[in-house]
Amino acid sequence: MAREQFDLIVFDWDGTLMDSTAHITRSIQAACQDLGLPVPADEAASYVIGLGLREALQIAAPTLDPADYSRLTERYRFHYLLKDQTIELFPGVREMLQELRDDGYLLAIATGKSRVGLNRALDQVHLTSLFDGTRCADETFSKPHPAMLHELTRELGQDLTRTVMVGDTTHDLQMALNAGVAGIGVAYGAHPASSLDALQPQFVASSIAALSGWLREYA
């Protein structure tokens, strides 16, 4: 199949491919409660999804003494890992990725997860072999800094103008703008469609089926 615009498609993980938004939100809230901190509302807790963990917790718990970030991080990981193995891919993700791979696209991940966390998640859902490159927040600058996309395109020998970033948050789309690559938003994750639209992505998908259909026709 002839590729219209892109050769490399970079996906965010949580809230874009993996249905983990609610679990991450609850884990942040539970960690704050454990430390006696003000518990952020759902919208505030989900806003930070996609950032590196330290950056996310600094925003979610602004009153916390920086010396205690490690305690909050430990409590977050405790709650997250309680149900980590029950989190699933959004329906249709596996088939979409396999079709893109079969059509000759290079596939990559740029995520706020740690390297250990992403490797564990990829192994659990048996997707490791489908991706040509991955970049995590503990290896480079956190979103929306463009480093993840710049590093992935260099590593895979790809042109920024032939690369697209797919994500469910404004952090993803702002990273795409900062890096000089196209952006596609998905409105079924952490941030609402109105927030994604403000960053002028090429498309905002309401579902995996809509995302897959757009990529099949226009990517």
For residue 3, what pLDDT is reported?
Answer: 72
Q: What is the dihedral of CA 164, 12, 124, 92, to 10 degrees?
A: -60
For residue 2, what pLDDT is reported?
Answer: 54
Q: Tell which residue, 71, 61, 96, has the closest CA to residue 215.
A: 96
Spell out the domains of the chain, with CATH numbers in brackets: 8-19+87-218 (3.40.50.1000), 21-85 (1.10.150)
Helical residues (DSSP H) of the chain, grouped into ranges: 21-34, 42-47, 53-60, 69-82, 93-102, 115-125, 147-156, 170-179, 193-197, 208-218
Q: Which residue in 7, 12, 19, 168 is the catalytic one?
A: 12
Under 8 Å between Cβ of 73 and 104: no
65 is a catalytic site residue = no
Under 8 Å between Cβ of 182 and 164: yes
**What is the SS3 assignment for 172-211?**
HHHHHHHHCCEEEEECCCCCCHHHHHCCCCCEEECCHHHH
For residue 1, what pLDDT is reported?
Answer: 46
The Cα 23–Cα 17 span in angstroms is: 14
Largest CA distance in the chain: 56
Q: Which residue in 14, 19, 168, 172 is the catalytic one?
A: 14
14 is a catalytic site residue = yes
For residue 58, what pLDDT is reported?
Answer: 86
First to last CA, the chain: 11
Q: Residue 147 in 3-state DSSP?
A: helix
Instruction: Write the DSSP assignment of 80-96 as a string of letters.
Output: HHHSGGG--BPTTHHHH
Tokens linked to 147? 């480093």
pTM of the model: 0.94
Exposure b/e, 8-41, CB count within 10 A at least 16 = b: bbbbbbbbbbbbbbebbbbbbbbbbeeeebeebe
Give 112: exposed, middle or buried? Use CB within 10 Å, 0-12, 13-18, 19+. Answer: buried
For residue 84, what pLDDT is reported?
Answer: 78
Per-residue pLDDT of the chain in tens (219 residues, 90 and over written 9): 457 899 999 999 999 999 999 999 999 999 999 999 999 999 999 999 999 888 898 899 998 888 888 999 999 999 999 887 788 999 999 999 999 999 999 999 999 999 999 999 999 999 999 999 999 999 999 999 999 999 999 999 999 999 999 999 999 999 999 999 999 999 999 999 999 999 999 999 999 999 999 999 999
